[in-house]
Amino acid sequence: MTRITIAKGDGIGPEIMDATLKILLAAGAKIEIDEIEVGEKVYLAGNTSGIAKESWDIIRKNKVFLKAPITTPQGGGYKSLNVTTRKFLGLYSNVRPCMSLHPFVKTKHPEMDMVIIRENEEDLYAGIEHQQTDEVVQCLKIISRPGCEKIVRYAFEYAKQYGRKKVTCFTKDNIMKQTDGLFHRVFDEIAKEYPEIENEHWIIDIGAAKMADTPEVFDVIVTLNLYGDVLSDVAAQIAGSVGLAGSANIGEECAMFEAIHGSAPRRAGQNLANPSGLLQGAIMMLNHIGETVAAEKIQNAWLKTIEDGTHTYDIFKENSSKQKVGTIEFADAVIANLGKQPSTLKKVSYVNSSALHLPKYRRKEPALKELQGVDIFVHWPGLNPDELAKTIKKLENEEIKLTMITNRGIKVWPEGFKETFCTDHWRCRFKPGSDSNITKNTIVNLMSLAVTNNIDVIKTENLYAFNGMAAYSLGQGQ
């Protein structure tokens, strides 16, 4: 028996959870259940994270969590429970299979069968945002080598386990050479360890266009958090419906499984909702805990039910569906099909589908890190960069010189274009004068002089080289 934690959530959550659990138990899944409360009620009781401390204890003890969708109340101050859970529990990998069920569920892409594996903890979702000047706000995009290595390795191991042929990486490293560049480099490094699996890289824009047009050319896709978030909803929708897809959030110790859709409050309490998304999440959960026989039995029964034309309202079509059913009747139809196989749709075999055990990340030897300068970011309401340069040059000494000013990344001094639009947010780059080496003290002195000269520095960023390679972006146009 495996003890799992469940939360019935809000809106249609309780109905689809009841239906899912009924199917799991009917299939003989060896699970015991601890139920916790998360979501709207907990938020409105004054807990801004939507979950009580005692519930965390249960989740951490059981390590496996099946969660129905929740409603996040409107208005500020409420933290996304999903994002918090993923990060607290280190659930670095988000796995979303998106497969068409043609001809039983309408889709323009009958051959589509892919899995999106998305990094789940980093990127712009670190939620580190600041307003720095009257006109400019910033969100930090954090990408780490462990984050990249773990997710890319997960994608290749997943492909190997499920007999998939190709892993495609999506990034935008033609623009973000450091962050997306790291993800792409790590992908190339790790791909070499899996010569039997084809690998390729696409720039995300054209890759996304290709995916929306010809999804059948992709097999496993691995990508960064934000791109994966957007792409996986598109993929689920073009496969047939967001109501049919589940997702797994996998960490080294814990895992959470869910439907990809929300709590659909307008459909709640009417026995209308399709439980398939949560059921797909639950099937991944069963595989994760080694209940592969029950998982396979349920998935084949579910495929057969879809094939029989027993459909909830969201996928019901007059000509192709046979019977429009509610949540409860759909679950009962799946239960009645347990032990049966689909005849048109491909039946599944989950003999080798239990949890992946990846090697732990090992920190590398530190590189030789050399301070090569500093960017100081200044709030300045003027318009003419030459004037700003005159003021900023007051901070120079023989050790350190102003070499460039950019505005929103584009070089505006020296030799800027008068046509370039400028905000009140300026990056002033200082590099060592000839033959001088700088230290942190050089920067402290620079900052102190800036204060004396009433220059409004809103942040600084040190410029480093690692093993002799400059590791910061140039100014655009530099």
Active site residues: 125, 172, 205, 229
Q: Give residues 337-396 in contact with ligand NAD (rule: CB under 6 A).
A: none
In this structure, what token pair is assigned to residue 96?
């979303």
In the bound state with ligand NAD, the residue whose beta carbon lies nearer, of 266 and 363, is 266
Residue written as tokens 């790790």? 190
Q: Judged by CB under 6 A, does residue 70 bind ligand NAD?
A: yes
Q: Which of 50, 215, 277, 373 binds ligand NAD (CB under 6 A)?
A: 277
The nearest distance, CB 208 to ligand NAD, in angstroms, is: 20
Closer to ligand NAD by Cβ: residue 74 or 434: 74
Q: Which residue has the tokens 């994608």?
A: 155
Per-residue binding string, ligand NAD, 288-327, x by CB under 6 A, is: --------------------------x-------------
Residue 34 — φ and ψ, nearest 5°? Answer: -110, 125
Dist CA 5 CA 17 (whole Å): 12
Closer CB to ligand NAD, 228 or 277, in the complex: 277
Q: Which of 179, 181, 227, 186 is nearest to 204 (CA)?
A: 227
Among 149, 258, 332, 375, binds ligand NAD (CB under 6 A): 258
Q: Which of residues 224-243 bind ligand NAD (CB under 6 A)?
A: 243
Q: Which residue has the tokens 């659909």?
A: 264
CB of 194 to ligand NAD, least distance (A): 32
Segment interacting with ligand NAD, rule: CB under 6 A, options 270-278, 337-345, 352-360, 426-434: 270-278
Distance in Å, CB of 449 to ligand NAD, minimum: 49
Q: Which amino acid is at 207?
A: G
Total number of residues that touch ligand NAD (CB under 6 A): 20
3-state secondary structure of 92: coil
| Smallest distance, ligand NAD to C-beta of residue 299, A | 18
Among 50, 69, 181, 281, binds ligand NAD (CB under 6 A): 69
Strand-pairing partners, residue 443, are none
Q: What is the residue whose two structure tokens read 């307008």?
A: 266
Residue 432's closest CA among 409, 462, 405?
Answer: 462
Q: Is 376 helix (H, G, I), strand (E, B) or coil?
A: strand
Question: Per-residue contact track with ligand NAD, 187 to 226, x per CB under 6 A?
Answer: ----------------------------------------
Q: Tell me the C-alpha to C-alpha distance, in Å, between residue 477 and each of 210, 405, 406, 469.
A: 31, 11, 10, 20
Cα dist from 84 to 51, 115, 125, 228, whole Å: 10, 24, 10, 18
Residues 78-107 that bind ligand NAD (CB under 6 A): 82
158 within 8 A of 150, measured Cβ to Cβ: no
CB of 150 to ligand NAD, least distance (A): 23
Report the site for ligand NAD in 1-20 (rule: CB under 6 A): 12, 16
- The dihedral through the CA atoms of 288, 260, 107, 170 has a sign that is negative
Residue with the CB atom nearest ligand NAD in the bound state: 262
Within its chain, how far is the Cα of 237 from the centroid? 17
Pairing of β 220-223 and β 113-119 = parallel
133 vs 312 by CB, closer to ligand NAD = 312
Nearer to ligand NAD, 207 or 275 (CB): 275
* Residues in contact with 227: Cβ distance below 8 Å, sequence separation at least 6, in sequence order: 118, 170, 171, 172, 204, 208
CB of 273 to ligand NAD, least distance (A): 4
Choose which of 8, 109, 150, 267 interacts with ligand NAD (CB under 6 A).
267
Q: What is the amino acid identity at position 394?
A: K
Residue whose C-alpha is closest to residue 168's, from 202, 211, 192: 202
Answer for which of 264, 282, 295, 334 binds ligand NAD (CB under 6 A) is 264
Least Cβ distance, residue 65 to ligand NAD (angstroms): 12
Judged by beta carbon, residue 328 or residue 457, the one nearer ligand NAD is 328
CA distances from 128 to 42, 123, 124, 228, 385 (A): 25, 10, 8, 19, 29
What is the smallest separation between the CB atom of 220 and ligand NAD, expressed in angstroms?
Answer: 23
- Reading the block at residue 151, the tokens are 């997710």
Stretch that binds ligand NAD, among 256-264, 382-390, 412-420, 468-476 (CB under 6 A): 256-264
Residues paired with 29 in a beta bridge: none
| Binding-site ranges for ligand NAD (CB under 6 A) | 12, 16, 69-72, 82, 243, 258, 261-267, 273-274, 277, 314
